[in-house]
Amino acid sequence: MNKKKSEKELSGAENIVWDLSDLYKSPDDEQLQNDKAELLKSAQTFSETYRGRVANLSAAEFSEAMKDYEQMIQQAHKIGAYSHLIWSVNTEDPALGKLLQEASELGSEVSQILVFFDVEWLKMDEEKAKKIIESSQLSSWKNYLEVSRRYKDHTLSEDAEKVMSAKSVTGRAAWNRYFDETIGAARFEYEGDKLPEQEVLSKLHNPDREVRRKAHESLTKGFKEHGRSLTFIFNTILADKYTNDRLRNYENWIDSRNLANQTDRQSVDALINAVTGKYHLVQRYYELKKKLLGYDELFDFDRYAPLAKSSKTIKWDEAKDIVLEAFGEFHPIMAETAAKFFDNNWIDAAIKPGKRGGAYSASTVTSVHPYVFMNYDGQLRDVQTLAHELGHGVHQYAARVQGELQSSTPLTTAETASVFGEMLVFSKLMNNLDDDKEKLALLVSKIDDTIATVFRQISMNRFEDKIHTARREQGELTTEQFSLLWSETQRELYGDSVTLTDEYKLWWCYIPHFLHTPGYVYAYAFGELLVLALYDAYKNNNIENFEEKYLGLLEAGGSDWPHNLIAKLDMDITNPEFWENGLSLFETMISDAEKLAASL
């Protein structure tokens, strides 16, 4: 083994792996096979019972149908969640790939059997549908039914929907799996070692500039080696989405995402315009950071450079204590819920070959519990990532009471709890510091994270807009065309404050959100700016009983429209000026950093 690798300090997360037995004991679990068979059987029975009758069901009959439907959706989600989770920690295992594919094909088959229910429900005349929605017997699914009616103009005939479902398995879903397995299997050469992507990406946060430069070089070289495949994957998924959008009558590439997020293009444009209008704040900050680091020129691989010269490894147990204490100081229920993830092995944090990069919290199903996935490398940002994903986990766990169909929130409000969790940890760390140099270093780290969450995500939204538009107007794009559009949108963000290297042009190709969930990225900015406003109100005691209202927001899940849920905390996210408030709070962070720097 390479000496430098063997000397690397262990984080304590090397053996933190999840126990998925609350879903199924193993891929060979007899219960998994039984559930697959039972799910198909239930779907067939449901079809035989209700197909062709939905429009004439009474409220009581519709309620019984919804109970059966929700149970089947839950069973399908359980099978799919287990297959995806076990595969995501070892994407190189063909047997787990086979398990994932089988779950995907089963899900498609069940969807084809059940699609009549959605089609007939959306064809129901408005007056009858309104009575169903307002009936006390359907109160458990009121918002789900109300929201689903928005898809009336975008739903095809039953036969067409069956074809769409069947082809998705060998279309977008297959290409997404290929992308994940390609990146998961990729190895990046760094000082004689062949390392997984996540381990090299982590080095971009190293205080040693030469380490960052070499990591940047290593990643670029690896991306180039896979460039042809990644370009083809991007082209294929963009084309697939264009086909689906045309068939479903979506005018713009982002419209289907906005609909799923229970918002509209006008509101999203207001957010985007507010953020892009403040790009100068990012450039102002990087001018400050350049001075603080003592550089004449700041390169793209310097953006996340910490001010502290040491790179102390924060052990897993210490990270756990920091997060649980921060959550507990806000409300004991938050800490109690988060502690379940540690105590019951609901977290997979070890970095290992074949494991997917990134981090997420998987809600799985309301009859079980969420699981947290991450790659913990012992850096300060990993503590924040842990807080972020556990914020999601607490949210998902609390919302289970809403049932399978109303527990999940749109992506916009889904990021609220995660970012709030990060803010709790950041504030705790800041309050524990007495040294102004350490405070400045931590504040700079937080500003780096906020730029990544708000401004970089909006710049990526601008890149998405360009590639979807170009793919539709010009046809298949070359690697160079993707890279040019990436460079344009990144330069708009950074201006002259950061020198973007020629190698950085290719760094669009490894970002999974563009493929897995087109249009996702603006939700991060939405969540961060919302939380800055919420946390400011909490810190200044502007909202009475904030803690209880916040927990109520988490428990509500997706049982109401986002603007109604947030309104209970005295916030109006429908007001275009709302985003200016969050951005002004971000500017205050920069001003605080400038004052601290001047005082030192």
- Which residues of 429-539 form beta strands (DSSP E)? none
**Confidence at residue 147, expressed as pLDDT on a 0 to 100 scale:** 95
336 vs 420: CA distance, rounded Å:
17
Q: What number is the average pLDDT over the span 573-593?
A: 92
223 vs 227: CA distance, rounded Å:
6
Range 37-46 contact pairs with CB under 8 angstroms and sequence separation of 24 or more: 38/75, 39/72, 39/75, 39/76, 39/79, 39/106, 39/110, 40/106, 40/109, 40/110, 40/113, 42/68, 42/71, 42/72, 42/75, 43/72, 43/110, 43/113, 43/114, 44/113, 46/72, 46/113, 46/114, 46/117
Read off the pLDDT band of 6 (50, 70, 90): very low
Q: Strands 193-195, 347-348: parallel, antiparallel or unpaired by DSSP?
A: unpaired
Q: What is the pLDDT of residues 248-268, one digit of tens each?
A: 999 999 999 999 999 999 999
Sketch out the chain's domains with CATH numbers: 20-170 (1.20.140.70)
Q: What is the pLDDT of residues 52-69, one digit of tens each?
A: 999 999 999 999 999 999
Looking at every residue in the chain, the average pLDDT score rounds to 94
**Confidence at residue 311, expressed as pLDDT on a 0 to 100 scale:** 63
Q: Tell me the HSE value of 577 on the side-chain side, using a 13 A CA sphere.
A: 0
Per-residue b/e over 440-468, b at no fewer than 16 CB within 10 Å? bbbbbbbbbbbbebbbbbbbbbbbbbbbb
Q: Range with the lowest mean pLDDT among 38-42, 163-167, 281-285?
A: 163-167
Cα dihedral sign, 369-374-377-382: negative
- Residue 7 burial class via C-beta count within 10 angstroms: exposed 0-12, middle 13-18, buried 19 and up: exposed
Count the Cβ atoms, other than its own, within 10 Å of residue 317. 12
165 contacts 108 by C-beta, under 8 angstroms = yes
Local structure of residue 598 (DSSP, 8 states): H
457 contacts 525 by C-beta, under 8 angstroms = yes
**CA torsion, ordered 237, 243, 249, 252, to nearest 10 deg:** 50
In three-state secondary structure terms, 116 is: helix
440 contacts 596 by C-beta, under 8 angstroms = yes
80 contacts 43 by C-beta, under 8 angstroms = no
In three-state secondary structure terms, 60 is: helix
Q: What number is the average pLDDT over the span 229-240?
A: 97
Local structure of residue 254 (DSSP, 8 states): T
Helices and strands of the chain, counted as H and E runs: 27, 5
494 vs 303: CA distance, rounded Å:
10
Query: What's the Cα-to-Cα distance from 515 to each of 71, 134, 345, 400, 518, rounded to whole Å?
Result: 29, 38, 30, 28, 6
Q: Tell me the Ramachandran region of residue 352: left when phi exceeds 0, alpha when psi lies from -120 to 50, beta otherwise.
A: beta
Q: Name 361's bridge partners.
A: 372
Q: What is the pLDDT of residues 339-392, one digit of tens each?
A: 999 999 999 999 998 998 889 999 999 999 999 999 999 988 899 999 999 999
Q: What is the pLDDT of residues 38-97, one digit of tens each?
A: 999 999 999 999 999 999 999 999 999 999 999 999 999 999 999 999 999 999 999 999
44 vs 444: CA distance, rounded Å:
57
Q: What is the pLDDT of residues 285-337, one digit of tens each?
A: 999 999 999 999 999 999 999 987 766 789 999 999 999 999 999 999 999 99
Q: What number is the average pLDDT over the span 541-558?
A: 94
Phi, psi angle pair for 575, to nearest 5° = -85, 120
Q: Is the pLDDT of residue 3 over 70?
A: no
Higher pLDDT, 184 or 500: 500
40 vs 264: CA distance, rounded Å:
36
Question: Among all chains, which residue has been given the structure tokens 């969640």?
Answer: 81
Q: Is the pLDDT of residue 1 over 50?
A: no
Local structure of residue 312 (DSSP, 8 states): -
**Confidence at residue 2, expressed as pLDDT on a 0 to 100 scale:** 43
534 vs 529: CA distance, rounded Å:
9
